[in-house]
Copies of this chain bind each other. A is one copy, B any other.
């Protein structure tokens, strides 16, 4: 089988690709593990150097996810699976409404239309977000059946994606599944335009010996999921029996909620255990970031994802240790 990962050179996309390279197979429509002979990472921006952890089965292709011809050329086999991760992120979507609609809505539709043109209803795993929830009527804890009244353009486009995934699946055009991750940590590299970018930066910059400027107060609650378990959750969703998902194909991924101050304490513990010095953390609240974060849910229940086998993090300390092992050479 061929696996296409849109947004494939991003944080989740690359780690998903590395995991698929190691696995070598994925359970698809046949219900049995199928060998992966091709993985294509499709992205608007591609890295200048080939990222580590990939092998000869992996191709990197630059392109626009809303470009029908490019996407059709990508989704060119019937034995195909798509992880559709390409997306304008939350902060960027607030700054550029039209870009968010073009990439997140038109792009998703383009991907779904290309899958529909294939025989055999390909499996499509779409990354929605907890940002799909929001609004004055949002309960303190959101569940898989909480109404979605998002308070960001990003969240709006993710809700639209979920609706399309459900209906394309109901029509038999494809076999869609959607995941709503919280902030996924710990992203290596540089800060990005997501309002939740600090949830990685708070660990990453100090571990690099750099200053982290925190845009939120220490008592702010953030709900997060470690990168390894996010990737694993997407694979579990891909492999799940469609009947277990029923008519609503989207699930909250497992998450845990921490105060920023707890995140700092965990970082100090794990850094000490690894004999690593830390750069400073400076609190400098940013009203725009605080407003976006305040509009997101603080606690989520992930009953459906847990029942399907999507893993939850063991602890925050473990997530930090995983980052040191995966990205800082242990």
A interface with B by C-beta (< 8 Å): 97, 101, 109, 134-137, 145-151, 153, 156, 159-160, 163-164, 166-167, 170-171, 173, 246-248
Contacts and interface: CB of A to CB of B under 8 A. Distances in A.
What are the 8 closest A-B residue pairs judged by CB atoms, nearest first? A156-B167, A147-B147, A149-B248, A135-B247, A145-B147, A156-B163, A160-B160, A159-B163
A135 B249 CA distance: 11
Contacts of A149: 166, 247-248
A101 B160 CA distance: 12
Nearest to A132: B163
A151 B247 contact: yes
Given A134-B247, A149-B166, A150-B163, 18 more contacts: A97-B171, A101-B109, A136-B246, A136-B248, A145-B147, A147-B148, A148-B148, A148-B163, A149-B247, A150-B166, A151-B170, A153-B167, A153-B171, A156-B164, A156-B166, A156-B167, A159-B163, A160-B160
Nearest to A148: B147
Contacts of A247: 134-136, 149, 151
Which residue of A148, A150, A163, A247 has the most chain B CB atoms within 10 A of its CB atom? Answer: A163
A171 B12 CA distance: 29
A145 B156 contact: no
B135 A150 contact: no
A146 B145 CA distance: 8
Given A145-B147, A147-B147, A156-B166, A135 B248 contact: yes
15 contacts: A97-B173, A135-B248, A137-B145, A137-B248, A147-B147, A147-B148, A150-B166, A151-B247, A153-B171, A156-B163, A156-B164, A156-B167, A159-B163, A160-B163, A163-B163
A29 to B, nearest CB: 21
A47 B109 CA distance: 34
A171 B149 CA distance: 14
A39 to B, nearest CB: 30
A294 to B, nearest CB: 13
Which residue of A134, A146, A173, A248 has the most chain B CB atoms within 10 A of its CB atom? Answer: A248
Nearest to A143: B147
Contacts of A160: 160, 163-164
A151 B163 CA distance: 10
Contacts of A159: 163
A164 B248 CA distance: 21
Nearest to A173: B97
Contacts of A136: 246-248
A162 to B, nearest CB: 9
A135 B147 CA distance: 13
Contacts of A171: 97, 153
A109 B157 CA distance: 13
A158 B115 CA distance: 23
Contacts of A145: 137, 147
